[in-house]
Amino acid sequence: MFNIASGQICVLCDTPIQNDITWKALLKKEGASLCRDCEGKLEKIEGDTCKGCSRPFDGLSLEFRFGDLCFDCVRWDDNPDWKGYLTKNISLYLYNDFLKETIAKFKYRGDYAISQAFSQQIKQRLNKLEFDLVVPIPLSVDRLQERGFNQSEALIRSAGLLPVNILSRLHTEKQSKKSRHERISLHQVFQVEKPESVQDKIILIIDDIYTTGSTIRHTAKGLIQSGARQVMSFTVAR
Amino acid sequence: MKGATILQKFLQKILRFSSHPLIPSPEHKILAQSYSFSPELQHHLSGRALLAEEISFPADLLDEHFQCGYIGRILGVSLEDSKFQCNRCGNQNQNQFFTFPCSRCKKDCTYCRNCIMMGRVSSCSYLHVWTGPDVIFESGPNPLAWTGSLSEGQSHASDRVVDAVTNKEQLLVWAVCGAGKTEVLFKGIEAGLQSSQRICIATPRNDVVLELVPRLKKAFPDIAVASLYGGTVDRHLLAPLTVSTTHQLFRFYKAFDTVIIDEVDAFPYSADKSLQFAVDKARKSDSSLIYLTATPSAKMQFSFTKGSLKGVTIPARFHRKPIPVPIMKWCGNWNKSISQNKTIPPAISAWVKKRLENNTPILLFFPSIKIMENSLPIYQKLNPDLEAVHSEDPERKTKVSLLREKRIPGLLTTTILERGVTIPNLEVAVIGADHDVFSESALVQIAGRVGRSIEKPDGNVTFFHYGKSNGMVRAVRHIERMNAEAEKRGMLDV
């Protein structure tokens, strides 16, 4: 696959990248895929965050915070239908206007190369995690045909990992058109096709964005019910 | 013999490397005359090159038309001599292609990133073109309702435009800022419409489309005018007269009998090749091409002087007064004084103060957003109502209106306002005119903002610099030459 990083051009804005000359860069030949300007526009999620979903507490009103958790995570955990399926979610960046635009170009315009913009950070963060399988969120057949690729799978591949496709989608309607209540009250969205492959495994779900968390929690529920030991998730945006 | 073929191949390679991308031709079947084609589809697709997802007709209907020879297909991204070419935008820059595992073709598939914002074109997608009978446009015998009069220079140019349209030729119309370019086109457009031509006016800027369309609709009240720019509603309107941003031309294929390119020079150099491809693809092989500009590129000026590009000049404004010649004024290290000393060079501050006192509206041009933003607070010490605009400023239009209505005394701006702004009584200064962004054409355009109204046909233009640049000297010479030509041709009242 043609690698834009080796051409030293920013994958988001096409300007040449000025790499720091370090031993690491020279030895690993690992150039950045983003220029400083674009990197600067991405806001890393750091500091005090919700242990459940990576939501930053900074700027969040106190009434929505319950110890280490945010109000949304408390609500999920209070619901016996949902408690205990997703161990935690980790997210890289705040979903600001720049990232919104970038993800829209990636997903809806179909600019696959953008998945490389996040690969270095994803690799770095995943180094510290232990897991057995990386699972993408599946798209419906129609949507996959329309877009030509699954964004979740593209992120996984660009980070040098192998996506394991063991899920299939039962509903096809667009998530973004539904309210939170509608999203979480759906019975079953995903089906695990080969339950034997997840037995006792620690599974990492990777997706582009964590909004209400319902997609990811539906997936987690399906996986745990099929025998997985633990499910975590990782998203680019939160 | 063998040597000759190697040499030939070698030459081909060099030529290919230096030449523009080739306009692709569609693969299509032999036309089945007996097939009763869909006129709706014919209207939708005539003169276009569209992806299947851009055509709102059922897939089997498209296939049927393809099988009967009424639709042709062009591969979206083709591979020639192990180099990719995008057949929608002409991109050949290999860095702008990316290969990914495609779920549609189930293979590694290569797409063009250069035009991704128009939807993905890849090696497994096709651009569909209409290969059936053409749509015939009928217009009344006298479509032009405009009854205004033309200046001597305009009238001469107008005749040349009519000739070029009628004879399917290329023509450069080199008209100074404020010459009244649009009116020069009316007779030519009329001639084209009378002979059932399909005509397109293309411009790089959305603003120009928006400004031009009502004027054309008024001049040609019975003719359908399609306006095309990002997010427009007329996207599928098949009209005899189309006003389009150059970007939207990428969706056309052999559509136009006449293409008029307004402000052909308003592109960065890198976009030039892409634009050339878009225009060549959008026009029919036998068609006229008219370039309309106040500041042709050096290359175009050269072709014009040499005679390989036919052209006509309008060296004088419609009000028959010469164009104000810029004054070049040394002001010391303008960059250092702003970034380090936080002061305005005395020569500049004197110029600005004088205009603020006399209530003369001013535009101050800066070489970059950064330099301008650093300067704004310092200039606001002279008058707190001074504002700044740049390309990404959402309030650009409002601020320009405020200046026009004299509710603010002046604007600091980047080159974004070098074109299209007409404010009576305006005077301009270029801060750091020796900076690279101020090319000859940018400076001529900037100077062209001044003295546009009959009431106040003169005014001051000053280039503040820290050492004259070639661009500055050429811009001044350009304007002096135009004024001299105008005087010689008796187009000025002195």
Shared domain check, A33 and A105: no
The predicted pLDDT at position B19 comes to: 55
Shared domain check, A228 and A116: yes
Convert the pLDDT of each residue in B54-84 to its tens digit. Answer: 999 999 999 999 999 999 999 999 998 889 9
Shared domain check, A63 and A135: yes
Put simply, the answer to whether B120 touches A109 (Cβ < 8 Å) is yes
Contact status of A98 with chain B (Cβ, < 8 Å): no
Number of residues written out for chain B = 494
Contact status of A59 with chain B (Cβ, < 8 Å): no
Q: How far apart are CA B109 and CA A187, in angstroms?
A: 37
Q: How far apart are CA A106 and CA A121, in angstroms?
A: 17
Cβ atoms of residues B356 and B385 within 8 Å: no
Shared domain check, A208 and A112: yes
Shared domain check, A187 and A69: yes
Shared domain check, A26 and A110: no
Give A109 to chain B, closest Cα distance, Å. Answer: 5
Sign, Cα dihedral of B67, B70, B74, B75? negative
CATH number at residue A48: 3.40.50
Convert the pLDDT of each residue in B250-302 to its tens digit. Answer: 999 999 999 999 987 776 554 667 888 999 999 999 999 999 999 998 888 89
Burial class (CB in 10 A: 0-12, 13-18, 19+), B204: buried
Mean per-residue pLDDT, A200-209: 96
Best of B54, B97, B98 to substitute, by most chain A Cβ atoms within 10 angstroms, is B98
Mean per-residue pLDDT, A219-236: 94
Collapsed DSSP state (helix, strand, coil) of residue B423: coil
Confidence of residue B493 (pLDDT cuts 50, 70, 90): confident
Confidence of residue B349 (pLDDT cuts 50, 70, 90): very high
Confidence of residue A3 (pLDDT cuts 50, 70, 90): very low
A-chain CB neighbours of B111 within 8 Å are 110, 112
Name the DSSP letter for residue B212.
H
Shared domain check, A212 and A152: yes
Q: How far apart are CA B201 and CA B242, in angstroms?
A: 6
How many distinct structural domains can be found in chain A? 2
Q: Where are the domains of chain B?
A: 23-130, 152-314, 327-488
CATH architecture type of domain B327-488: 3-Layer(aba) Sandwich (3.40)
Shared domain check, A152 and A189: yes
Convert the pLDDT of each residue in A48-96 to its tens digit. Answer: 999 999 999 988 888 888 889 999 999 998 998 899 899 999 999 999 9
Collapsed DSSP state (helix, strand, coil) of residue A230: strand
Q: Would you put residue A124 in left (φ > 0), alpha (ψ -120 to 50) or beta?
A: alpha
Shared domain check, A193 and A95: yes
Question: Token digits for B98?
Answer: 């990316």
Q: Do domains B152-314 and B327-488 have the same CATH topology?
A: yes
- For domain B152-314, give the fold: Rossmann fold (3.40.50)
Shared domain check, A48 and A37: no
Cβ atoms < 10 Å from Cβ of A44: 11
Shared domain check, A61 and A23: no
Residue with tokens 């991308």: B21
Shared domain check, A116 and A15: no
State the residue range of the domain holding A157.
43-237
B-chain CB neighbours of A147 within 8 Å are 103
Convert the pLDDT of each residue in A107-166 to its tens digit. Answer: 999 999 999 999 999 999 998 899 999 999 999 888 999 999 999 999 999 999 999 999
Largest CA distance in chain A: 53
The predicted pLDDT at position A97 comes to: 94
pLDDT for residue B346 is more than 50: yes
Confidence of residue A5 (pLDDT cuts 50, 70, 90): very low
Q: What percent of chain B has pLDDT over 90?
A: 75
